[in-house]
Structure 1
Amino acid sequence: MISVRGAGKIYRTRSDETVHALKDVDLEIAQGEFVSVVGPSGCGKTTLLRILAGLEGATSGEIVVGGHKVRGPNDDVSVVFQQATLLPWYTVLQNVLLPAHLKGDRSPASEQRARGLLDLVGLKDFERKYPFELSGGMQQRVAICRALVRNPKILLMDEPFGALDAMTRETMNVELMRWCSQEGKTVMFITHSIPEAVLLGDRVVVMSPRPGRISEILDVEIPRPRDLRTLGTPAFAELSDRVRQHFGAVAAPGQDM
Structure 2
Amino acid sequence: MSILALFQLTWRNIMDKTIRRTPDGKPERRTPDEMLRDAVSDDTDIPGKGKPLDLKAYFRPDAEHRMAGKILRDNNVLPAHLQERKDAEEHLKNADEHLQRATEKIAPLQKAIRPLAQTLIRTFSYDKEMCEALGLNALPENFHPDEETPPASDILETISTFDQLCKQYNARVRDLTYRYLENLRLAHENIEASKKRQLVNRSLLPAYAPIAKVDIEAQKEYIQTRFPLLPERPRDWESRLKTWLRSQQPSLWNRLFRSV
Calculate the TM-score normalised by the size of structure 1: 0.21
Q: Which protein shows a greater Rg?
A: 2
- Higher helix content, 1 or 2: 2
- Higher strand content, 1 or 2: 1
Calculate the TM-score normalised by the size of structure 2: 0.20
